[in-house]
Structure 1
Amino acid sequence: MRDSAPGAPAGPEDWPADTRTTLALNLTGTFDWDLDTGSLHLDDGGLAVFDLRPDEFDGRPAKLIDRLPRSEWTRLDAMVTQAMKDGRPRYGLYFRIRCRDGTLRWTHSQGRILRDPWGRAHRIIGIVRDATDELTGATGGNTPDTERHREASVVEETTAALANARSVRDVIDVLESARGVGRLGAVSLMMGFVEGNHLRQIAEGRTTSLVPELEFTRLDADFPMSEVVRTMTPRFFVSQQEFAARYPRLWPYIAPLNASAAAYLPLIAQGRAIGAIGLLFRDKYSFTPGEETLLTALTSTIAQSLQRAMLYEQEMELAESLQRFMLPHTIPSVAGLRSEVSYRPARQGRDIGGDWYDVIPLPGGRIAAVIGDVQGHDTHAAAVMGQLRIVLRAYAAEGHAASTVLARASTFLHDLDTDRFATCLYAEADPATGWLRLVRAGHLDPLLLSTDGLCRVLPVAGALPLGLPHLGPSDFPVTSLELAVGETLVMFTDGLVEQPRVDLDDGIRELVDAVGRGPEDLRLLADWVCEQPGGRSGVDDLALVLLRRETAPMPQPGRRLHQRVAAGDLKAIAGVRRLARSAVRSWNADSCADAVELVTQELTVNALRHTTGDALVTFRLLDGGDRRVRVEVEDGSTDPPKLSADEDIGLTGRGMLLVDRLADVWGVERQGSGKSVWAEFVAPTHYGEPEGPEPSP
């Protein structure tokens, strides 16, 4: 051992000795760390403790990292940071540094934390000293007490860290970190799990190469970890010769680590060995009874943590599999529209969530994008989510209006007799026109990303969440707008914007910024948004749906006809009926001609009799999985038509009751200061070109 620091005087010439001489003779130096500027001053004694020459240190703390093993630097940084956060005035700890010749030696640091009037730490003044003699017992000081304190600290810190480990990887990271077995001097960690009659290695240590059989070995193999699992008894080796003689096949792979001692211990939980752990040490030539007891106690704690982590991972895998099974496996492709979806399970807690998404092909070549969140984070929420998604998909595929789809889904959820409600955002898109119809039930507003990269929140009329009683289509207002070519609708659940102790509006602003800065490609954009650092805390799952209008289809003559009827002009009804029949015949949909003609008459008469102003009648042919004829009658009133059995049946027949019976599906949409009442009729499969000229509006 060294008796003095490089360049220190042999002894004091004057009595009493000055401070500098005293510090140098006791292998001690001082430091002054300015936290505001990041500058660190080390005197000559401090440089000697770190085995640095003055020209090798530039005043930056990062320069000292080269002198500390990574685990020691991590522990030192964590301890000092925690002392500053806790408001403590001082700290003290032991750590190891790596000397110029590669050897490790113990060092002790003690610092006084200076704070400003507001309590913020801005400066640390302290000492560093060589503690090698103190901890090896060469000085005959309080080594036993110090060693017992260190061992107790190892057990306490390792146990506390393992308590927060949720996965097997977390356990291994704790053991390999500064809080783990490295504090006992171990330079390599190996670990294996029992699987049937084999031992599968999950932590490989730091050997330059591995024996192939070690990755998956039989329990009766002649290897140390297999042996301690069989016997459930630890093995300690304190010489290279002993290890090489006992395991000659393994020794060539261990020798490059220059280990002088090894400890192999079984991992026992609930009376059985679930695996084994191996530790290699340098510059160690014996294990005291206290050290053997300490290692045995630690492995018991490690085994309990590993068993708990394995159960947690199994439950998480089951929960995530259930969640993903209930989500759609494929997304339909629709000409003119591109959609991308993404789902991320929660990474904290074992419960699954009720977030879901869906993209549904609709009659007439349209598409519906849905995103929602069932209340709760458990299997009950996931089960409700699965049922609600399927029911909502069925209602949408039947061609019902957006408000009707959500009203019926809400009734279904209420009738389930569950205490859960759900939020939902439903968007129906027509690629031919770019027209969007959105209904929002207690959910967050979507975002709209324009072609120039500008992203903003898109306000959508809100309604109560699904599952509440007595909600009908009129309780779910529709917001309509045109999606321009290149624009993207962004639908998401709150897991993407909610963070603990962060205002929801701030989270939404961060999302708006992230979407605006994201890549242009839709798939890359979905990954970018979900993987933003700090964008989510992991306490909740999240779902994302992106819907982009890519191209505007070529116009198809004869597929849309308009006729405006003046206010009160009931004589014009005959012309509207002729136009309806002519359009249907030209589209080879004769089988529904009578129904279309009669419903057009009822809708038009209803608009003229019960509203003021003109009525606009529109006929469309919708192509898709099934061809449909759609009739729309727009007027200037926002009052929806009433469906009742005792309606006046004079001039208008049975009115809206007749429309309900004849149309395959019908609905009402609010449009600015008015509304549009529409009805759709399934037409036969297109079997030829229209006969004769197209009707003119």
Structure 2
Amino acid sequence: MRTGEPLPPVEDVLAALATGLWRWDNRAGLVTFDVEAARLIGMPSPDGQPVTLTESGVRARFHPVDWNEIDGVVQLAVAEGTLAEARLRIMDERGRVIRTVRSRSKPVLHGDSPDSYELIGTLQEVTEPGPGAAYRTPLTGDWRRSREAFLLDAGRALAEAGSTEEVLRVAAGLSMPGFSPDGLVVFGVSGDRLNIIGHHGQHTDAVSPFTDMDLATDYPAAEVVRTGRAVYLSSPDEYQHRYPAAWPLAARFQRQSWAFLPLIVAGRTIGAWMAGFAYPVSFTPDERSVLTTVARMLAQALSRAVVTESERELTDGLQQSMLPNLGPEIPGMSVAARYVPTGGGLQVGGDWYDLIPLPTGRIALVIGDVQGHDVRAAGLMGQLRIALRAYASEGHRPDGVLSRASRFLHGIGDTAHGGNPEDPRFATCLYVEADPATGVLEFARAGHPDPAIRMADGTVLMRPTAGGLPLGIDPDADYPMTRLVLEPGETLLLCTDGLIETGGHDLDTGWARLRKTLESGPAETLEELADALVQAVHGPSSHHTTGPLADRREDDIALLLLRRTPLSAGPSSGRRTAMTIAQAEPERIAAARQQLRELLHDWADDDQVDSAVLLVSEMATNVLVHTDGDALMVAEVARSAEGPRRLRVEVADASDDLPHKRRPGELASSGRGLVLMELLAQRWGVDPQGNGKCIWFELYEPSGLSEPSAAGEDPAADVSRETEPPAPPVPPAP
């Protein structure tokens, strides 16, 4: 070709270079190849005309791994407006590779839809690299497998990150296959300002000029946020040429390549991510694909973390406004409380506690749980708490407070959700009125778990109390009261079912777990004991309503501890419990038997424990059968200065009729009570009182047997039954 002659047609030049042209219309789903491109894919044109195939027809000519790979490369090129470049293996009809071609194409968008585009590109045959260079080729199977494994690990780690700090820590630890940045920066957008929300591998002084910038700044991250397109800078010269104003600030890091990618969530750019490299990186399509995928996962993780942190901030504020301050110290008593929200959703539930000063000088302790774990449950909890405070401040007794609260909750349930009564809510509640001077506790219970008492020596008793239906079910429900006395040094535990049942436990196994913690937990301060109870379920806790626990929980946890100040700092020499068995509640005889067994958990002689339980059952049954009143059981274990421990059990009633010893026949159904008393008790008697009588018996722990086990251990595990216990000393007559 001489100088001045016209240039030959482009098709002839490309054909001379063994390069073909092709065009992929994504809207029509058709791909057109010129004569040379058709030859390269193994479908030569018989008449010298272009060949048009469907996408499925084209797919059959390429290796399936390469076809799947090119889809990601094309999507990346469409998103970034860059060239799509890839190597593709051509297959024959028998599935054999006949050649490898390199494709380079430019996407052309039609309209604003990213799914409506055309690709116009070239195909050129290339030689496959030898075995020694295979590992450096981005399209080898090893590289693909390592990239896929990396993306899976990165996606899992970012998905598990629960805070912005954790997301940044995960991003800093990413080791990308084949190339790894030595510096990372995450930029956030606030209005028209760009600021750094986290960085790794950067000196704080060096990044200070970038911490707060105007979005109009001539800086790659600012351009990325403005345009939503990635910026790749393969060399310092390219950086200096494109961004001369920012280059002097970036030069001090002595890096060779940079990638700035947008962080996009739901079509909105929330920031930018910079990856800096200490060595030159060409940013091939495969490398850009990895970086783009990581940026997308990073954007999603940061978005979730921001939402989670906002929810936690909202939760903390809501909890702080709803849960009370325990207020000033109570003379003669100390109080501790904990509230731990559930790990799901907004972490707001219906559990609450309260401490209410009463007009009489007493205090009321309230703990409850509104059905549900949502915002509505929290709202009802707040209303119910205010109502309970109002009723208590009016001077109503515990039963009256709960009766009014039940009517209140039933009333607002009828009008909830715009008058729709199909979603009623109920609440469980335990209301305790305490007299700091005497230790008298008066309970009213509405479907809530019973309280527990830790005695001064560490013995734990579950205290069954009379109760009624949960609040809000029946507006006319009654709530009978139970009176107990908290002795000096004893601790009362009130809690919601979250503390008991979390971790797959039911009420029985959950109480067994709590009993171990109560018996062996720290006794110096209530704060330490409260922490120990929460840690036994979920690990470290915080005071009151500070941040939520790290793990997810099935239910909220609320607990209240009330301790009566001990009379002396020395160890206690005894323990005592009392319980009323009403005529209308004969089933409480079983609770009395269980109460006595728990009181004697470390008694050295199991036979004596069985005898005591049998005698209590007989005495209480006689009261219910032969009188018209209730039975009051009082059991006490005391250790004298000299000699063994003594168990004394009294059952009092309001009848003046004294029991008489009888000689029942073999078929008699009654009359054996005093006979059993005489056979099993070491001392017993009947004492008339001003209003009724008291039947009592005493047992003395055999001192010849092994020492009683410590609180919480298996009672009498090593006791020998072959040794006859010595005769107990005769105490003075009562």
> Residue 441 of structure 1 aligns with which residue?
446
Residue 354 of structure 2 contacts residue 366 of structure 2 at CA under 8 Å; is this kept in 1? Answer: yes
In the TM superposition, what are the counterparts of 1:230-249 in structure 2 within 5 Å?
A: 230-239=226-235, 247-248=246-247
Structure 1 Cα separation of the partners of residues 412 and 475 of structure 2:
14
Distance 2:360 2:148 in 1: 73
Residue 464 of structure 1 is matched in structure 2 by 469
Partner Cα separation in structure 2 for residue 479 and residue 363 of structure 1: 21
Partner of 2:558: 543
Paired residues for 1:80-95 under 5 Å = none
In the alignment, structure 1 residue 523 sits paired with structure 2 residue 527: yes
Counterpart Cα distance in 2 of 1:421 and 1:173: 44
Say if 1:349 and 1:470 are closer, same or farther in 2 by CA, change over 3 A: closer
Question: Over residues 614-657 of structure 1, what are the superposed CA-to-partner deviations in whole Å (9 max), with x where a residue is unaligned?
Answer: xxxxxxxxxxxxxxxxxxxx9949xxxxxxxxxxxxxxxxxxxx
Give the length in aligned residue pairs: 427
Letter in 2 for 1:498: E
- Residue by residue over 1:276-323, the C-alpha shift from the partner in whole angstroms, topping out at 9 and shown as x without a partner, is 112234555322112113322332343234334433433443344334
Q: Compared with structure 1, are the counterparts of its residues 399 and 218 closer, same or farther at alpha carbon in structure 2 (3 Å cutoff)?
A: same
Report the residue type matching 1:446 in the other structure.
P
Q: Which runs of 5+ in 1 are unaligned?
A: 1-132, 554-609, 614-633, 638-670, 675-697
Q: Which AA in structure 2 matches 1:548?
A: R
In the alignment, what sits opposite 1:514?
A: 517
Give yes or no for contact 2:216–2:222 (8 Å, CA) kept in 1. yes
Deviation at 1:396, TM superposition (A): 1.3
Equivalent residue, structure 1, for 2:345: 349
Partners of 1:358 and 1:673 in 2: CA distance = 40
Whole-Å Cα distance in 2 between the matches of residues 249 and 546 of structure 1?
A: 63
Contact 2:521 2:529 in 1 (8 A): no
- Find the counterpart in structure 2 of residue 199 from structure 1: 194
Distance 1:172 1:363, change over 3 A: same
- Could you say if the C-alpha distance between residues 151 and 513 of structure 1 is closer, same or farther in structure 2, counting changes exceeding 3 Å? same
The amino acid across from 2:534 in the alignment is C
Structure 1 position 243, deviation (Å): 5.8
CA distance in structure 1 between the partners assigned to 2:510 and 2:345 by the alignment: 21
Residues 350, 203 of structure 1: CA spacing in aligned structure 2 closer, same or farther, 3 A cutoff?
same
Note if contact 1:191-1:278 (Cα within 8 Å) is conserved in structure 2: yes
- The separation in 2 between residues aligned to 1:401 and 1:182, in whole angstroms, is 72
- Equivalent residue in structure 2 for 1:429, among 434, 451, 458: 434
State percent identity of aligned pairs: 41
Partner of 1:49: none
2:186–2:274 Cα contact (<8 Å) kept: yes
AA at the equivalent of 1:365: G
One-letter amino acid matched to 1:467? G
Cα gap change, 1:333 to 1:142, in 2 (>3 Å):
closer
Tell me, in whole angstroms, the C-alpha distance in 2 between the residues paired with 1:230 and 1:273: 8
| Alignment match, 2:253 | 254
Matched AA of 2:564: R
What RMSD, in angstroms, separates the aligned Cα atoms of the two structures?
A: 3.8
Structure-2 residue corresponding to 1:485:
488
Aligned to 2:538: 534
Deviation at 1:183, TM superposition (A): 8.6
Distance in 1 separating the partners of 2:132 and 2:366: 68
Which residues in structure 2 correspond to 1:145-224 (within 5 Å)?
A: 145-176=141-172, 185-210=180-205, 211-221=207-217, 223-224=219-220
- Provide the rounded CA distance (Å) in 1 between the counterparts of 2:458 and 2:375: 39
- CA drift of 1:135 comes to 11
Please, which of 333, 347, 350 is the counterpart of residue 337 of structure 1?
333
C-alpha contact 1:441 1:464 (8 A) present in aligned 2? yes
Distance 1:264 1:141 in 2: 24
CA contact (8 A) 1:327 1:357 kept: yes
Aligned partners of 2:248, 2:324: CA distance in 1, in Å? 52
Structure 2 distance, partners of 1:541, 1:187, is 44
Q: Any gaps of 5 or more consecutive residues in structure 2?
A: 1-128, 415-423, 540-550, 569-626, 631-651, 656-690, 695-734
Cα distance, 1:548 vs structure 2? 1.7
Where do residues 37-186 of structure 1 align in structure 2 (5 Å cutoff)?
A: 137=133, 144-176=140-172, 185-186=180-181
| Alpha-carbon distance in structure 2 between the residues aligned to 1:232 and 1:399 | 66
- Return the offset for 1:189: 3.0
Partner of 2:401: 405
1:257-276 equivalence runs, <5 A: 260-276=256-272
Following TM superposition, by how much is the alpha carbon of 1:218 offset from its aligned partner in structure 2, in angstroms? 3.5
Q: Give the CA deviation at 1:523.
A: 3.0
Match of 1:361 among 345, 357, 361: 357
Partner residue, 1:43: none
The letter of the residue matching 1:413 is: L
Alignment partners' CA distance in 1, 2:476 and 2:309: 41
The match for 1:311 among 302, 307, 310 is 307
Measure, in 1, the Cα distance between the counterparts of 2:437 and 2:336.
Answer: 19
AA aligned opposite 2:222: S
Q: Which amino acid aligns with 2:186?
A: M
TM-score under structure 2 normalisation? 0.52
